[in-house]
Each structure stands twice: as structure tokens, then as C-alpha cells.
Copies of this chain bind each other. A is one copy, B any other.
């Protein structure tokens, strides 16, 4: 197996940087769009054969060094009892948002085999079809980020319901975060049992909180998950717009910190120390530039990431309007850059 990714997760020296792309199975690929033309998003997530197929598309086409199971972070709150809809153009919607302690009775810690077994089956079929070419990642959203969607009822610019609750009744919100954390622990253990060889936690909305409040509110349930999964497979924590949280992220019991493009990797490394493996951090809009600009920016990022282990990725998911040849130029640039 190409184990550059797993060795980098463990901080081992490698002859070149491994590379994969967040949302690499997605709308920028014609092969993915062909499947979505016949299947709505949630049905795709829940059909293991199709999951395996779209998960493998970027491995075949881009020749990336890791696969990530095709799924959505919001499948977890749905399994907990929150009705979830994906509306074209509007993104995800929870028609019955959870906004007060009394609303918690509508949620429960589910039997993950019964409710999310399709993800596990997707992992097993993908592992089989991958034939150990590259490792397969599983993933989940963090409790804070999942709560953001469930409380707000969808996405938001300022998340007033979530943050209002956090100020008004922090103990009530902590109950919601704990419910999500417990479910997530079962879910991620199930993913490992089904063949996930590394796990990534997505914290899209972690950056909403100040460092002090992040430590009080978002960290405890996250820490609980990280501790429950420790020692099984490499654990990656992704967040966006969280440069102000680096002092806390440095202490997080995960192997890899996946960061956005706002701070150079060298500056992140200076703040978190060279023991933490870094993942990232090309601005995904760079892939809208001509290939020559993509190559130059990618090489600059690799150079900036020297001084410790580094898994090359974007700083956020690849954009749907990205030309596939540009994604390919990115991957090829990384692969051609050997380390001395």
C-alpha cells in the first residue's frame, strides 16, 4: 500500500509529501455529477455501492494518496432524531431546530449500526474495491459544528440562536454537545471497525468563539471524542478561521492539525510546535487560477511547510467550479516535489 499518508500522520520522514483534497469526491468531477443527476444527495450517502463508487473516483482520476469516505457530517444529527433536508441552492435545513433544553427530548443517542450502518457498509465496500492502493479516511463533524447546524436550523452568517443559547444557558447547550459527542464516539468506533484507517474531525464553525469561550464550550466534548479514539487510528482535527485558537489546538490530543490558508504553515508550526503534524493549506480558490499560478503557489506552500511532517491538502473543500485539470495540476505538483 501507498502509506505516505499514514506515515506522515505518525510524523515519520517520507520521500515526498502525501496529498489529498477535502471534498475530492464532489461536484467539480463530471463522473460525480453524472451520478448526482440520477440520485439526490441523501440517497447517494445511503447507498453503499454508490458511496464506494464516488469515493474511488478521485483516487482513480487524480491519483491522490488517500481516499475519504463519501458521507455528510449531518447524517449524525439525523440519526439522533433531527429531520434533515437538503434543498437545492439552500444547503442543509433542519426544519425543527433544537434551541432550548426542552427541545433535547427530540434527540437521543442512537444505535449507530441501525441508523448509520450504511456508512459502515460503504466503508467496507470501499476498502474492498480500494485493494489497499491508498488508505481510507473516515470522518465526523465536531459536536460544536453539528450543534451549530441543529440549533440554527441550517447554515447562518452569525449563528445567533447557537451563540444566544451559549450565553443564556451554557449547561443546556453542554447537554446537547454531550449527546452529540457520545453518538460520535460510537459512530467513529464503528467506522474504524468497518475499515477506516484514519479519522478526520471537521470543525467548520469552531472559529466563531473566542479562545476563552472555545475552551469552556467547544473543547470539552471534542476532547472527550479525541480521548475515546486515541491510540486506534490517526486522528486529524480540521478547522477554519481558527488562528486565534492555536494555543488551545496545540494541546489537543490529536495527531494532525488541518488548517486553513489564513496563516502560513511556518507560522502555525511556530505556534503549535514541530511535534504536531500539519495538514493543508492551499486556498481552494487558488485552483481557479491558471495552472502555472497553481504550481507556483503549491511549491511555495510545500517549502513553507518544511520543518516537520506535512500532509498537503486545501485549506477548505474544493470548489464545485474548479476545473478538474487544475486539481490534477495541484496533485502532480506535489508528487513531483521530492524532499531531499
Binding site for B on A (CB under 8 A): 155, 157-160, 163-164, 166-168, 207, 209-213, 241, 243-244, 261-264, 283-286, 288-290, 293, 316, 319, 321
Contact = CB atoms under 8 A, between A and B. Distances in A.
Nearest to A155: B157
B167 A286 contact: yes
20 contacts: A155-B157, A158-B284, A159-B285, A160-B288, A160-B319, A163-B283, A164-B285, A164-B288, A164-B321, A167-B285, A168-B289, A168-B290, A168-B293, A207-B241, A209-B262, A211-B262, A211-B263, A243-B243, A243-B244, A244-B262
Contacts of A166: 285
A283 B210 contact: yes
Contacts of A159: 285
User: How many copies of this chain does the complex contain?
Assistant: 2
A213 B281 CA distance: 14
Given A155-B157, A243-B244, A316-B158, A164 B289 contact: yes
A210 B262 contact: yes
A109 to B, nearest CB: 28
Contact of A321 (B160, B211, B289): B160
A160 B283 contact: no
A285 B207 CA distance: 15
B288 A167 contact: yes
Contacts of A155: 157
Contacts of A158: 284-285, 316, 319
A241 B243 CA distance: 9
A319 to B, nearest CB: 5
A289 B244 CA distance: 24
Contacts of A285: 158-160, 163-164, 166-167
A261 B209 CA distance: 8
A210 B160 contact: no
Contact of A212 (B244, B264, B316): B264
A245 B207 CA distance: 15
A196 B39 CA distance: 57
Contacts of A288: 160, 163-164, 167-168
